[in-house]
């Protein structure tokens, strides 16, 4: 039985939107679905509520694509990943703020992917209080409604991970090998890296190669 290919993009805001939409169009042409990781705040200065262009584009994607909540206010934690070490109380406060703000903007999200995929035990414990059906970490996919965990490796470009040529080559090879073995392949890229055409080209090639080796294109909604 073939594994799935799950492709996602994070860091979607005004400065990255054009490059993000360019990659999305390329993936669409290859008939590869893409999941979008969205947050109400990025880099202290950016707020989704104040960015009409990005907000309008994301609202247009509802229903067509999988949208996952990708944190609340990442800069508060500096270089550390926002939900990597939080205890239950702090995780609850941040999730409450994030979900309320996203709902006010028209986004009712039931899937959660913490920044850099780093999910603390405390965060995992409180997710069901916010009616999340799915949570995704470095290790795999938590199907919260089914009390089930699907182990599957994440291959990331940027967002705290590598983006150099050697790193991209490793990502391509890992995607190909995993697809050959029938594993579910998760590919993710930061919108911040997509201004580099070589990064965009290699990321797309990794996705296309995984499909060529037998992976079935899908998105995170398939695991709800």
State residue 196 phi and psi, 5-degree precision: -90, 110
The reported pLDDT for the residue numbered 19 is 98
Give the pLDDT score at 76: 47
pLDDT of 125 > 90? The answer is: yes
* C-alpha separations of 169 from 176, 186, 213 in Å: 11, 16, 16
**pLDDT per residue over 72-98, tens digit each?**
986 544 556 899 999 999 999 999 999
pTM of the model: 0.95
E strands along 58-172, which residues? 67-69, 111-112, 134-136, 140-143, 148-151, 154-157
Q: What is the pLDDT of residues 133-180, one digit of tens each?
A: 999 999 999 999 999 999 998 999 998 899 999 999 999 999 999 999
Structural domains in the chain, CATH included, are: 4-223 (3.20.20.370)
For residue 213, is pLDDT > 80? yes
52-68 confidence digits (pLDDT tens): 999 999 999 998 999 99
């Amino acid at each position: 039985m073939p594994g799935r290919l799950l492709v996602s993009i994070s860091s979607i805001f005004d400065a990255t939107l054009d490059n993000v939409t360019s990659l999305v169009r390329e993936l669409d042409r290859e008939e590869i679905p893409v999941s979008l990781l969205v947050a109400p705040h990025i880099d202290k200065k950016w707020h989704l509520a104040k960015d009409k262009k990005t907000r309008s584009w994301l609202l247009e994607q509802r229903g067509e694509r999988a949208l996952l909540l990708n944190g609340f206010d990442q800069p508060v934690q500096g270089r550390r990943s926002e939900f990597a070490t939080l205890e239950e109380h702090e995780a609850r406060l941040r999730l409450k703020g994030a979900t309320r703000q996203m709902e006010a903007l028209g986004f009712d999200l039931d899937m959660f992917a913490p920044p850099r995929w780093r999910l603390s035990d405390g965060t995992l414990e409180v997710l069901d209080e916010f009616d999340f059906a799915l949570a995704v970490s470095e290790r795999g996919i938590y199907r919260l409604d089914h009390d089930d965990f699907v182990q599957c490796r994440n291959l990331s470009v940027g967002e705290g991970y590598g983006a150099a040529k050697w790193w991209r080559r490793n990502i391509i090879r890992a995607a190909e090998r995993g697809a050959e073995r029938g594993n579910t392949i998760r590919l993710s890229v930061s919108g911040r890296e997509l201004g580099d055409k070589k990064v965009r080209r290699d990321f797309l090639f990794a996705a296309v190669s995984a499909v060529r080796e037998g992976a079935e294109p899908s998105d995170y909604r398939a695991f709800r």
